[in-house]
Amino acid sequence: MAVKLSKKIMSKLGKTNAEFELIEEGDKILVGLSGGKDSLTMIHAMKEQQRRAPFKFDFVAVTISYGMGENFDNLIAHCREHDIPHIVHETNTYDLAKDKIRKNSSFCSFFSRMRRGYLYSVAKEQGCNKVALGHHMDDAAESFFMNFIYNGQMRSLAPKYRAENGLIVIRPLIQMRERQLRAFVVDNGIEAIGDEACPAMRFDVKMPYARAKMKDMLGDMEKEYPQLFTSLNAAFKNISADSFFDKEKFSL
Ligand SMILES: Nc1ncnc2c1ncn2[C@@H]1O[C@H](COP(=O)(O)OP(=O)(O)OP(=O)(O)O)[C@@H](O)[C@H]1O
């Protein structure tokens, strides 16, 4: 059955694309597909964009398996049903992680670093020039406050940047709200993979509480200031670097 994408999602995608020149004529894009609601929305929005856009681009959805016996049958069937090219790339990250955890290295960052490496190598193998990730505005805001509070850094998630290996990383959903993406999978009755797939659930490690805390804090702030996310989005494009304490950024 064909999926229905809201006007809001498609117009946000179009605007973000135009604003940051994310998807361009002739691109071949690897789209990271975890099977969660965000990346599922992304593959459908990109498929629709492909149909509507006056320029041609290709994409392939890629799922990195950590080698912990994940079952991607539904995801594979879903992509097939919607005529979306899809590759499941098997890895032994889970086994490697067992050693790493004994050495007490940070669990989630290990998986995310490994995953990124695999996504880049599959992108090169497949002749892709770009890699698309399904981060949204709530992720950008949470990352900003996490870096601010826990790491003493002013950083967020860029809509577009060049990785060291030359690949361009894009985030087509970065100006969308998480609730819009959740609504897409719910309204279309799409089964999304949830937190149960997070490898941290298999180990006796603390779940990433910092992000959950940021989510709660932002939820409370948004109740008090309903325009919070619109304002954050504007602020992320309006940075006065020379008004902070970084000597390198002073204007004199
Ligand atoms: N196992 C994976 N294989 C391929 N891409 C992945 C995988 N895990 C994450 N990604 C990509 O990285 C993005 C951010 O990952 P993160 O784990 O933060 O996702 P998330 O917030 O759970 O989103 P989603 O709902 O898409 O899983 C995803 O949207 C997806 O594009």
Q: What is the largest CA-CA distance in the chain?
A: 61
Return the structure tokens found at 117: 């490496």
Confirm or deny that 139 is annotated as ligand binding: yes
From ligand 1's centre to the CA of 237, what distance in Å? 25
**What is the model's pLDDT at position 188?**
97
* Protein residue with its CA nearest to atom 28 in ligand 1: 134
Q: Does 134 belong to an annotated binding site? A: yes
Angle made by CA atoms 78, 65, 119, in degrees to the nearest 5? 95
CA atoms of 176 and 9, how far apart (whole Å): 7
Residue nearest to atom 29 of ligand 1 (CA): 134
CA 136 / ligand 1 centre spacing (Å): 11
Q: Please state the atom number of ligand 1 nearest to the C-alpha of residue 64.
A: 3
| Distance from Cα 110 to the centre of ligand 1, integer Å | 14
> 242 a known binding residue?
no
**Residue 104 in this model has a pLDDT that exceeds 70:** no
For ligand 1, the distance from its centroid to the CA atom of residue 244, given in whole angstroms, is 33
Pairing mode, strands 168-170 and 160-162 = antiparallel
- Residue-wise pLDDT for 35-86, tens only, equals 999 999 999 999 999 999 999 999 999 999 999 999 999 999 999 999 999 9
**129-147 confidence digits (pLDDT tens):** 999 999 999 999 999 999 9
Structurally, the chain folds into a number of domains equal to 1
At residue 4, the pLDDT reads: 95
Q: Is residue 246 part of a domain?
A: no
Residue 206 covered by a domain: yes
Residue 46's domain comprises 7-238
Q: Is residue 105 pLDDT above 70, yes or no?
A: no
Domain contains 97: yes
Ligand 1 atom at shortest distance from the alpha carbon of 132: 31
In a domain, 122, yes or no: yes
Q: What is the pTM of this model?
A: 0.95
Report yes or no: 61 and 43 within 8 Å, Cβ to Cβ. yes
Angle at 98 between CA 113 and CA 32, to 5 degrees: 30
Domain of 92, CATH number, reads 3.40.50.620
> Does pLDDT of 223 surpass 60?
yes
Whole-angstrom Cα distance, residue 84 to residue 16? 22
Tell me the average pLDDT across 13-19: 97
What confidence tier does 101 reach under pLDDT thresholds 50, 70, 90? low
Residue 68 within any structural domain of the chain: yes
- Residues whose beta carbon lies within 6 Å of some atom of ligand 1: 32-34, 36-39, 62-64, 115, 133-135
Residue 223 resides in a domain? yes
Q: Is residue 251 part of a domain?
A: no
In a domain, 249, yes or no: no
Is 34 annotated as belonging to a binding site? yes
Is 39 annotated as contributing to ligand binding? no
Instruction: State pLDDT tens for residues 175-214.
Output: 999 999 999 999 999 999 987 667 776 766 555 688 899 9
The 3 state secondary structure assigned to the chain is CCCCCCHHHHHHHHHHHHHHCCCCCCCEEEEECCCCHHHHHHHHHHHHHHHHCCCCCEEEEEEEECCCCCCCHHHHHHHHHCCCCEEEEECCHHHHHHHHHHCCCCHHHHHHHHHHHHHHHHHHHCCCCEEECCCCHHHHHHHHHHHHHHHCCCCCCCCEEECCCCCEEECCCCCCCHHHHHHHHHHCCCCCCCHHHCHHHHCCCCCCHHHHHHHHHHHHHHHHCCCHHHHHHHHHCCCCHHHCCCHHHCCC
